[in-house]
Amino acid sequence: MRNYPRLTVTEKAAKKAKSGHPWVFGEEVLSMTMPDGSPIETIPAGELADVYSEKGKYLGTGFYNEHSKIRVRLVSSNTNDTFDTAFWARRLSHAVAYRKTVMPDDFASPNGGIRLIFGEADHFPGWTVDRYGSVLVSEVLSAGIDARRDLLYPLLVEACRAEGMEITAIYERCTGNLRRLEGLNEYDGFWNPASFGRTAETCPTESTLVENGVQYTVDFINGQKTGFFLDQKHNRRAAAGLAKGKRVLDMFTHTGSFGLNCAMAGAASVESVDISADACEMARHNADINGVSDTMTVTQADVFDMLRELAEEKKNKGRWDYIILDPPAFTKSRDTVKSAYRGYKEINTLAMRLLPRGGYLATCSCSHFMPPDLFKRMLHEAAEEAHVTLRQIEERAQAPDHPILWNVPETEYLKFYLFQVE
């Protein structure tokens, strides 16, 4: 018989859980008891708890954390699950096998990059794992996963090796404000290098990644997120499909990825822009190792300021016939959506004004707080303000190694459009 603490939740929370959404918020918990009905006041962070409706219907089991706004992160709605080692091994095996199926070339490549675990979409709430070659980079943002790292990591390595993927190190990037909000300590570094026959000093500090035929040096220790943005993989390839012979302006370039794909695809010229000196240095390095430095130049500048200055001079209209906008998330909460909307609208309006009639625009948003309908509305308004018409070429989302669960809207976050501007 299960002996987990029992939480009774509101009707609203029960309805969400029945639909498959995995989060229960603190204000939705009505009571906490042990299975015998005796009341309890607290549950250790990361422990499993059963969730029930007010009518006594079992809704699921998940990780409890009283320090978090998300009080329970459900991991299963099956009453027969036992959450033993075999359960987690099976879950990890399914996640790895899914990537091998949907992205076989990236999976099989010894220098491939792929997201192996995508949090709630893989039923591992608050856990992200990216693979760069033979190195796994892990970010843990939930107490339940944090408490089980020493169990999960070896099982994940075993699942990878069973599918033919060799793993030689795991690097943990478990820092930042989100961990503090969960009441978790921050740490980074290599996990148990001895298990891979290494010491921390002999572990790699960067990795070589090949994506769409483009080579990158990935600094997974100091780079943003886990070191690289894998979710745009297929979008970069789609954008490159329009680039041959074009003069490309690649804004918010980060490691130069969109610009590099375009340069490798035969663009006449590429100017890649980012405000970060480190990002610009890495983009230049990546241009060098791919042999496209003659085609691709890198400029350090504030994209907003640069676009404003360029748009003021009529002579700049038509200077580029293809503009790519890949900004960071302008909003990471519902409280800042309005200001983010203004930011997205400004850069898109300015880009549309700079393009000649018949030019091309790639534009995107990586924030789930900017839902697709709102992003589309912004693009409509930007086009009206720029006095142009948008001819849609493609509407895209994140790569399938970042799967979208239809009953968890938060997993659908990347919006990507290709347009001809008239």
Distance, CA of 317 to CA of 46 (rounded, Å): 56
Catalytic hit among 174, 280, 364, 366: 366
What lies within 8 Å, CB to CB, of 246 at 6+ separation is 262, 267, 268, 321, 322, 360
Residue with tokens 């990361």, as numbered in its chain: 46
Give catalytic status of residue 366 as yes or no: yes
Distance, CA of 139 to CA of 117 (rounded, Å): 10
What lies within 8 Å, CB to CB, of 365 at 6+ separation is 327, 329, 330, 344, 375, 414, 415
Q: Measured between alpha carbons, how far is residue 421 from residues 290, 348, 388 in Å?
A: 30, 11, 6
Q: Measured between alpha carbons, how far is residue 322 from residues 38, 374, 395 in Å?
A: 66, 24, 17
Beta carbons of 292 and 264 less than 8 angstroms apart: yes
Both tokens assigned to 151: 């169990």
- In the Cβ-directed half-sphere of 367, how many Cα atoms lie within 13 Å? 20
Q: Which amino acids are annotated catalytic?
A: 366
